[in-house]
Structures are given as structure tokens and as C-alpha cells.
Amino acid sequence: MTKVLITPRSFGKYDDEAFQILKMNHVEIVPNTTGAVLSKDKMKELVADVDGIIAGVDPLDAEVLACAPKLKAISKYGVGTDNIDLDYCKEHDISVSITKNANRNAVADYSFGLMLAVARRIPEISDGCKNGDWSKKVAADVFGKKLGVLGLGAIGRGVIHRALGFDMQVYGYDVVEDDVFLEDNEVTFASLEDIMSECDFISIHLPLIPQTENLINKEMLSKAKDNLVIVNAARGGIINDDDLYDALVNKQIYGAGLDVFQTKTPKESKLLTLPNVVVGSHTAASSKGAVAKMSLMAVSNLMKNLREKAMA
């Protein structure tokens, strides 16, 4: 019988169709029963005799993968593969797939929601009212402002489509310039420096790779307007958290919305102490629709790759 480790806690939570597909294919499921992201030691224990893994953000580096001699395929529940040693997988003929675009609308919604929450000070005002402070608080405008989108993949494009409804002037930054998309959506392709100096809002949708690590740092933040709102629902590490904290404390920029952090222990981040920072628990993709879609896609990808390995 095929054995599959499933680590994401939300997998199949709102629709059991993904579990039914595994059952029909006589798959023995190894569940994550901890209620948390698995540690490296726990991963080493659980991967020992599995044929496949449906993986969240749990560690799958070479040390962990070396403990999985039967492993044939990894299906990432999401799109970021920075927790997976892809070189090891290639060397050992382990297929790796992602649930591309499954959560694009959920993350785009959340990213735009972060912009609104920070600009209009929504959490701050709500908390104040609940604690007896019913004073009026002046906030920033969103409609008609300039938005820079860093990363023009499916999620970045989703944010742009939402921004057009707010009559925003949009600037885009990516390694690839798609002239048709830019023209159709009236997006100005620009350098990172120009976006930092021109825009009122910046939304980040880049992968975390060596070229993007610490991309938003002290130097870049020094170019920003003092009314800038920056949001990141992509990957921690793209923004240097210490530099962002300094920029916020010194009022170089207006505010930030963060669903991800540079530090592995975000509960200890200084950014949590600031009233002009709205934070999330890496939850942008966690809508019921996205969870169901990612679960089905993850299972489909895994079963396809396992079948191909069996026939090879």
C-alpha cells in the first residue's frame, strides 16, 4: 500500500473530497497530529517509510530527505519551495510539484485587505472603540493613489485587478516584462527604485531567492515617501525587518501590513509593538475556497507523479 505523509493542518478541512481520492487509491495516510508545523526531528521520524509527502512549510532539507529512502514525490501545498531542497530531490529523482494559482484570489484579497487596514487604521480604531476610545482618527486615502506591485505573477496580477477598481495608478516590477498584460491593465513597468520613490502603496509578491533577500532594506526605504504603506503576504526575508522597524519608528513611512516575517520567531519581533503595523500569521492563503482547491490540486499532483514513477 502507498503511504503518504500529510503535514498541512488545513488540508481537507472544509471538504473531504481530497481524502476520498486518497482512499479510492488505497493510500495509507500518515497525519500530522501535533497541531503545529513539524520539527526537523519529527519530520525525520515520519518520512522514514513514506512514498509521498503533501507538504506545508515543514523542513524538507537534505538531512530530512536522507531519512526517506522510499520517497518518490513531494506535492507542495502552496507555491513556495524554499523549505524543500530541490537539488537533493533532483539528484535522487524525487518529483516536486506545487499547487500553482490555487490560492491566488485568497492571497490577493488578503493583500489588498492589508493595504486598506493599514491605510485606514481599521484594527487600531476597532481596538480603541472596544476599549472606550470613540475619538475620530484621521487615516490615509487609498482611492486614486499610486500602487507598486513587486512580482507580476498570478497573485500580483490579482492585486492589480483589485486596485483598478480603486482607480489606482499601478506600477509593476518583475524580472519579465509582459507588454500585453501591462498595456491591457494600464500598468507602468518600473524599476524598484522608481517604485519606492513614487508610490503610496507597495504590495510584495516575489519568491524568496538570493536575489530578493533583503530587497527592501534601509537604502530602499530611505527613498520612500513618508505616506508609504508597504504590505508583504509573500515571504519573510524579502523585507529586512530591522530596517523596516527603524523606518516606521522614525516616521519615514506611514505603515506596514505583514503576513510573514524575516525572523523564525515572529512573536518576538519588535514590529509587533507598533500601532501602525497590521500583522497576520502567514494566513493569507487560508480561505475555505483556497484550502479546498489546494487540497484537491495537491492530491492530484501527487497521485499523477506517483503513477508516473510506478510506470517508469
* Per-residue pLDDT tens over the stretch 115-145: 999 999 999 999 999 999 999 999 999 999 9
User: Which CATH homologous superfamily contains domain 2-99+288-311?
Assistant: NAD(P)-binding Rossmann-like Domain (3.40.50.720)
Average pLDDT, the chain: 96
* Per-residue pLDDT tens over the stretch 243-252: 999 999 999 9
Nearby residues of 311 by Cβ (< 8 Å), 6 or more positions away: none
DSSP letters for 202-242: EEE-----TTTTT-B-HHHHTTS-TT-EEEE-S-TTSB-HH
pTM for this one? Answer: 0.84
Query: Thinking of the domain 104-279, which architecture would CATH place it in?
Result: 3-Layer(aba) Sandwich (3.40)
pLDDT at 78: 87
Domain boundaries, the chain: 2-99+288-311, 104-279
